Structure 1
């Protein structure tokens, strides 16, 4: 507890009059568990879905946010902090060429809105871009410069592979790197940013209802239905896993070879959606297995969600894998939310075998439809059944 108090005082000394961002909390939580290997990150920081006047929101809780809250209260009482904290104004003027365009996101691609970035914008952002290519600390500076350079970076990304992009900006390979990608998603889709948190709770019961009404339920669906009401976390995980189980399997026709098709099994569809492994030691073997399978059909491994735990009731962690980078989460809703935003921000693709399930989440919960969506009938049917 003394360590948390010291960290809290340091954070407030650096940022006495501002709200503390999720990235700052994440940075210090990661430092603690890196130093004390047996400590659990969730004890110091995790998110919790709470209902407020603004709807369902994702709130940071744990020892670090609690400590900051208590210290701020004491500081205000003693006059050290003279007013309640307010959000900082934008670090760059909204008219800056470096900042994001103010026009709404294109329905075709999140990156298409950055087609017309001129050389003047490149010049204005060159110093910040160079810093990001060579630095990933302090994190507050990373976040600031990342926001400042969003339009130029995203215009470059259209011509880069994910691997090249991650190598160019080392901060993305940090445990908190996903926050930068979420920030870019918010730039492209500000109105849809909280879509999952706002809509999933109300449709979760409908998912279980539709599943329970299916006449021919397979063994896996029955297992998932038994997890309803076990706990909020287990129920959320089961609800997500039910989505691909409620869809018909789609035959995948390969580009360049019309005669060669892949009709994945139900288990392959589930694994392409959310892969469950029993331990960390199993992760690499399963990834290699998936790469080998996909290579048979000239497909490449896309970003993937992995659930680690002895059973669906005993999950240790949720991981979003992007190439060789792994982002860790404490809750399935966080993992699913981050995954979809990462896919859109990086201009990546959903795995072919599970695309129909992800379109349910994209169109149903985030209310995003793009010109690239080829929505199968099974997806449209399930959305209708859910009342979306």
Structure 2
């Protein structure tokens, strides 16, 4: 690293450790504007120093841009030879159309300044950077879509997914206005990304264009490239431009698959951001929704445990991380998000009528006067509605496992008197499941001396204990977690969860991975009659 860069970092208030990190990673001054968020986090571990670096670099880039704009507007003042006895005694204007053959050999002063401050590889580069300057704010304000983008940023202080899509579309449409078949070079994409960050400081450049470790713009990645690529495909299908002949003809399925991959690349930067960030929450929610398909695809392909998935995304381990699992469920089943709350009064009565028919439970039902007490009584006795079933058949290496109704109940809603007992019970259940080759699935849990005095409610998912307001909320979150995490119900309580799935959320049974239970089918008929 040059001494100039080290001095600059010191002037920016950064310490020697940061300077040493830049030296070790061979970051030079010409690569500063290409540093993305992931690289910056590697170079500068402390958040405060990273913010200071971004502010200083953004300020310097803005000054350079303004300087470039000012220089590009300077007219190419002709050089006039006024010396007596010189070769041009008649004071002819250099470059005039009347006597261009005798033009003075020196270049116009403005052109020299431009070449000195912004060296280019050739005439094409000079044309790209100075003949095609983009006034992004003016471009956006000239259309209704652009005004939506500006209005979104003004109202929210940042761009949302819709605004980013509109912004990318407006920029690409402008770039292709004279030539639908125009190719956008990595340098041009990098220039456009800089313009976006300049106008919208909260945007990450890595979202719009991808830059490799050498500071070179990577073709095929970033929101701008993907928008250009997809626009070209539309133009090609309409016959507006000629497609590139790549030899053998491909099937429509393979083309659609390739398009899907490109669309995934558009949100890959958001996915990587979620793996290292948990704030701000507004951004987390937006990026989480954008990356739903990517994460769902990973869950289907990977064999990672629930624990690994929860550890992969810091936002999931926040106290409100369960909201992200709820969002994933809502994206998969948008019509079912509030089903349990809506149907619970009928379902609660349906359960209590079948389990509280005699003895202590009949007396308990008479004592349950409030809706909350009736809810707790129903949830903590739900397993009594179903018969006991074999969870594991006996094999040469594994004994038969036929869980009791108590074990089935604890796999559905676990009731303990205090939190210390809760952790002990979970450890014992985890050890037991390991003997049968199973991992600890999500489970709802309630803490209190008895069913009438429930003090705390939890939805336990992997390493995280999500504390929520009511036992019913804990059950709701736990059910949605099974589907958001693409994991199976615990075998002991599979009858209960499958009944809730089909009767309440109206999600059909998948014959490939969900067993058939005659008890569930019978109960579904009875409950359907009650609902109607």
Query: Do they fold alike, i.e. is TM over 0.5?
Result: yes
Partner of 1:19: none
Which deviates further from its counterpart, 177-186 or 144-153? 144-153
Match of 1:128 among 267, 270, 274: 270
Match of 2:448 among 309, 330, 334: 309
Shift of 1:254: 4.0
| 1:82-140 deviation digits (Å, cap 9, x = unpaired) | xxx9xxx9733798999xxxxxxxxxxxxxxxx99832123211221121111101111
Partner of 1:377: 518
| 1:193-231 deviation digits (Å, cap 9, x = unpaired) | 121122122232222223345xxx575x44653453x22
CA distance in 1, matches of 2:334, 2:160: 16
CA distance in 1, matches of 2:362, 2:404: 18
Partner of 2:162: 92
Partner of 2:234: none
* Cα contact 1:320–1:335 (8 A) shared by 2: yes
Which has more strand, going by share of residues? 1
Match of 2:375 among 228, 236, 258: 236
Partner of 2:386: 247
Match of 1:137 among 268, 276, 279: 279
Q: What are the residue-to-residue correspondences of 1:81-230 with 2, within 5 Å?
A: 91-92=161-162, 118-158=260-300, 159=302, 160-213=304-357, 217=358, 219=360, 221-222=361-362, 225-228=365-368, 230=369
CA distance in 2, matches of 1:311, 1:212: 17
Give the TM-score normalised by the residue count of structure 1: 0.66
Shift of 1:370: 2.8
CA distance in 1, matches of 2:321, 2:436: 31
Find the residue that maps to 1:343 and give its secondary structure: helix
Partner of 1:341: 480
* Cα contact 1:244–1:270 (8 A) shared by 2: yes
Which has more helix, going by share of residues? 2
CA distance change for structure 1 residues 343 and 289 in 2, over 3 Å: closer, same or farther?
A: same
Find the residue that maps to 2:455 and give its secondary structure: strand
Q: What are the residue-to-residue correspondences of 1:326-337 with 2, within 5 Å?
A: 326-337=465-476
Which deviates further from its counterpart, 120-129 or 328-337? 120-129
* Cα contact 2:376–2:452 (8 A) shared by 1: no
Structure ranking higher on relative contact order (CA contacts 8 Å, 6+ apart): 1
CA distance change for structure 1 residues 343 and 267 in 2, over 3 Å: closer, same or farther?
A: same
* Cα contact 1:117–1:151 (8 A) shared by 2: no
Task: Kindly tell me the number of residue pairs found equivalent between the two proteins.
Answer: 281
Find the residue that maps to 1:300 and give its secondary structure: coil
CA distance change for structure 1 residues 287 and 178 in 2, over 3 Å: closer, same or farther?
A: same
CA distance in 2, matches of 1:153, 1:227: 47
Shift of 1:176: 0.5
CA distance in 2, matches of 1:313, 1:124: 52
* Cα contact 2:348–2:375 (8 A) shared by 1: yes
CA distance in 2, matches of 1:126, 1:298: 34
Shift of 1:383: 2.6
Provide structure 2 residue ranges, at least 5 long, that are not aligned to the other structure. Answer: 1-154, 167-222, 227-256
Partner of 2:494: 355
* Cα contact 2:356–2:365 (8 A) shared by 1: yes
CA distance change for structure 1 residues 218 and 374 in 2, over 3 Å: closer, same or farther?
A: farther
Provide structure 1 residue ranges, at least 5 long, that are not aligned to the other structure. Answer: 1-84, 99-114
CA distance in 1, matches of 2:415, 2:305: 27
CA distance in 2, matches of 1:130, 1:291: 31
* Cα contact 1:207–1:386 (8 A) shared by 2: no
Find the residue that maps to 1:315 and give its secondary structure: coil
Shift of 1:191: 1.4
Which deviates further from its counterpart, 185-194 or 371-380? 371-380
